[in-house]
Every structure is written in structure tokens, then in C-alpha cells.
Amino acid sequence: MDEKLLEIRNLAVEYHTDEAIVYAVNNIDLVVKKGETIGLVGETGAGKTTIARSILRILPSVTARIVSGEILFNGEDLLKLSEREMRKVRGSKIAMIFQDPMTALNPIETVGFQIAEAIQQHNKISRAEAERRACDMLELVGIPMERYSEYPHQFSGGMKQRVVIAMALSCNPELLLADEPTTALDVTIQAQVLDLMQSLKERLGTSVVLITHDLGVVANTCDSVAVVYAGEIVEYGTVEHIFDFAAHPYTLGLFGSLPKLDSKERRLKPIKGLMPDPTDLPKGCRFYERCPEASKECAEAVPADVEVAPGHIVKCIKVKGGAV
């Protein structure tokens, strides 16, 4: 699992509106190794989905701008490919599971047709062969092939998400982007979907970027974790680094806001305030106004990435050598 599959370098993404410029992603670096599952964790609006959509280049064409950076997939910069070349990548090499399965499926086409269409789009095979493979994919995710001709409204939320997973994995992609795939599901179905994704990942050898705000999901499924705040990765490391040796005040705040069965504390400790306005980001540390350990220096100094242990990166000036 040491070979790089995806490498993001200095990626910056902006959304331009009539009123202002939204600085959604700000010069991030990220590596996904072959066979690895990496979790992107953070509050809503942190920029996690923008990162995933940048990889597939499916950002809104009118407002979004990738202003800098490289996205290297197997050594090839996706940002330099033509739209025609990107269509060959989407689905076949990189696939995405979207947050809401109902909006990801066409309500007027059968689920089997939609899976077969994705298969035929990327493989030179007959319609009959595509339908056979679609039936196999339905069986693989636990849906009887007899339901091939049914429509999305005939499936429950968990079953629709299984269909979306089958569609995403139908061409055996090397990288799967899962954007909060269990958010709209109840806890029992969440566990089933996560177990399914994990077993399929191991069976097919797929790398996964899992976007979530659920640290419990991360603990059970991920190898590495990137904590995202205001468009920046403020802490990165293995699951053991983040859960056992968290160092950034924001990461510690996320853990402090979770209930603990072995704690006698009667009240949780939520992170005060809200994320900064993405159209007017602070000059220094983005977490300055919410940080319980902030000093005047934090308001001015730009935090640098500090390696506190091999592979464990923290962006905080309170860490030795953390200011530039």
C-alpha cells in the first residue's frame, strides 16, 4: 500500500459569484495510496465535497474555478486532460457515490438500465452482456437480479444506496469517492452499507476517499484521516495518530463534542462559534477565533505544516516550528 494512486498538490478552488469570491479550498496537499481508505473529516462547508468534485472535474462550470494545483492520478495530471479524455476516466477509473441516492438515480429509468448504461459506456460489449453484468452487480450488493426492471421509487433508502454503489463499482474503478454515503440512512442500514463497501473494497482492491463528519465511521473503515477546516487540511495522519495522539485544537474539539460512554461528564464540550466566512478568511490561523488556546500571534502568523511524528502532520503554530 506504499504506491501512490492519487496525489493532490497545492490545490486551490474558488467560487465566483456576483457578490464575492468564495475561497472553498486553499492550497491543500493530499496523497491516496493504492488499496488505502482515507477519510476526509470536518464540518459542513469545510470544502470536503469540493475536493472530491475537483478530482472528477464536475464542479459547477459557471461559478467554480480551479486556480492552482495538480491532481495526479497514476502520475497523470487530470487537470490537463480534455473533457473527452475525462469522460473516459469518470466511472471507469474513478467513480463517485453521492450523498443522496435519490438525486443520483434517474427516476424514469429502471435501476438495472442505469447500471447497464454505465457499464456499456466504458466497455465495448453488447447490450445483452451489459445487462448480464448489471444483474451480477445487483447480486453483488445484495439485491436480487429479479429487481433489475424496477424503478428507484420502489426501493428503500438503503436499497437505493446499494444501487448507487453497484453503479459506481460496475466498471471496477481504481478509486472510489464516497461523499457521505450513509448520512441519509438510519443507523442499522448505515452499518450494512459500510460493511458492504468494505467487503467490496477488499474484493476489488479499490482505493477509497470517504467524506464524512462521523468519527465513528472513520475509526471503523479508514486507514488514514485528513481533518479539513475552512478549506485547509489542519491535521493528517493514520487513524492511530488522529484518535490516540490528536494535536490540533480543532481535532481535539471534534473529539470533545462527542458523547463518551466511559465519561462522567454531564455536558458535552462543543466547539464555540462558526467557521469563518469563506469570502473573508482570517489573515493568520483560520481557527483562531474559535480556538481555546489562541494567542495574538495566532491572529497574524500563518501556520505551517509540522510533522510531529512520521506521517503525522499538524498545521498549528502552538506545535514546535509551526509558524512561517
Are 82 and 180 found together in one domain? Answer: yes
Q: Is the pLDDT of residue 216 over 90?
A: no
Residue for grid cell 445484495? 142
Give me the pLDDT at residue 193, please: 77
Are 160 and 244 found together in one domain? Answer: no
For the chain, the domain total comes to 2
Are 262 and 165 found together in one domain? Answer: no
Average model confidence (pLDDT) across the chain: 90
**What CATH number is associated with residue 36?**
3.40.50.300
Give me the pLDDT at residue 104, please: 84
- Classify residue 155: in a domain, yes or no: yes
Tens of pLDDT along 103-142?
Answer: 889 999 999 999 999 899 888 899 999 999 999 999 988 8
Of residues 88 and 103, which shows the higher confidence score? 88
Q: Is the pLDDT of residue 323 over 90?
A: no
Are 28 and 154 found together in one domain? Answer: no
Give me the pLDDT at residue 322, please: 52
Give me the pLDDT at residue 277, please: 93
Please state the φ and ψ torsions of residue 66, each to the nearest 5 degrees.
Answer: -90, 105
Are 37 and 124 found together in one domain? Answer: no
- Classify residue 109: in a domain, yes or no: yes
Strand partners, 70: 9
Give me the pLDDT at residue 195, please: 83
Give me the pLDDT at residue 109, please: 95
Under the banding of pLDDT at 50, 70 and 90, the label for residue 324 is very low
Under the banding of pLDDT at 50, 70 and 90, the label for residue 231 is very high
Are 71 and 185 found together in one domain? Answer: yes
- Classify residue 294: in a domain, yes or no: no
Are 245 and 133 found together in one domain? Answer: no
Sheet containing 76-77, strands listed edge to edge, beginning at the edge strand earlier in sequence: 21-33, 4-16, 64-73, 76-77
- Classify residue 305: in a domain, yes or no: no
Stated pTM of the model: 0.89
Q: Is the pLDDT of residue 293 over 50?
A: yes
β-strands 232-238, 224-229: how paired? antiparallel
